[in-house]
């Protein structure tokens, strides 16, 4: 009987979707999770989280202080994304796509607060995420 309950719980539990691990200079950077859809072996789940824009999403956590041109690592651990896009947003609405190489982005040289908006896709689903930094 305990085995049957365990099997039922395993297959009825919503599947786990990846959340990026963002680090810089040995520090963890908090990541806000947006909407996502993910399907597992026998179940699927879509969760909608409403934000006015990526800047609003990035404001869920205080910006992490970084130095100009500091490396920021963005990794999805054991479930690397098949497709991933990163955009840099600033308060005045300016957006630019970031050249993403070797799972790293470089902080800007100019001082200020920046929000990085990530969209990622896997064969099991997709998701979007945001984190913010302040270049000092």
Q: Which helix (H) or strand (E) holds 33?
A: strand 32-39
Walk across the sheet containing 21-24 and list its strands: 27-29, 21-24, 71-75, 104-106
Q: Which of 3-17, 68-82, 114-128 has the highest mean pLDDT?
A: 114-128
CA 101 to chain CA centroid, Å, is 16
Query: Is residue 70 within 8 Å of residue 109, measured between CB atoms?
Result: no
Query: Is residue 33 within 8 Å of residue 130, measured between CB atoms?
Result: no
Q: What is the pLDDT of residue 5?
A: 47
pLDDT tens for residues 28-65? 999 999 999 999 888 889 999 999 999 999 999 999 99
Q: What is the pLDDT of residue 4?
A: 46
> What's the mean per-residue pLDDT of the chain?
87
Q: What is the pLDDT of residue 102?
A: 76
Domain with residues 20-135, CATH architecture: Sandwich (2.60)
Q: Grade residue 101 by pLDDT with cuts at 50, 70 and 90.
A: confident
Q: What is the pLDDT of residue 6?
A: 45
């Amino acid at each position: 009987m305990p085995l049957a309950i365990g099997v039922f719980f395993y297959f009825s539990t919503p599947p786990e979707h990846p959340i990026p691990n963002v680090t810089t200079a040995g520090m963890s950077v908090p990541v806000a999770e947006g909407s996502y859809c993910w399907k597992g072996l026998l179940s699927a789940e879509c969760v909608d989280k409403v934000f006015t824009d990526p800047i609003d999403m990035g404001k869920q956590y205080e910006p992490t202080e970084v130095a100009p041109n500091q490396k920021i690592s963005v990794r999805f651990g054991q479930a690397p994304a098949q497709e991933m896009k990163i955009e840099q947003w600033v308060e005045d609405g300016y957006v630019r796509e970031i050249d993403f190489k070797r799972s790293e982005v470089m902080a800007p040289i100019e001082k200020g607060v920046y929000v990085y908006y990530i969209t990622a896709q896997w064969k099991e689903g997709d998701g979007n995420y945001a984190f913010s930094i302040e270049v000092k």
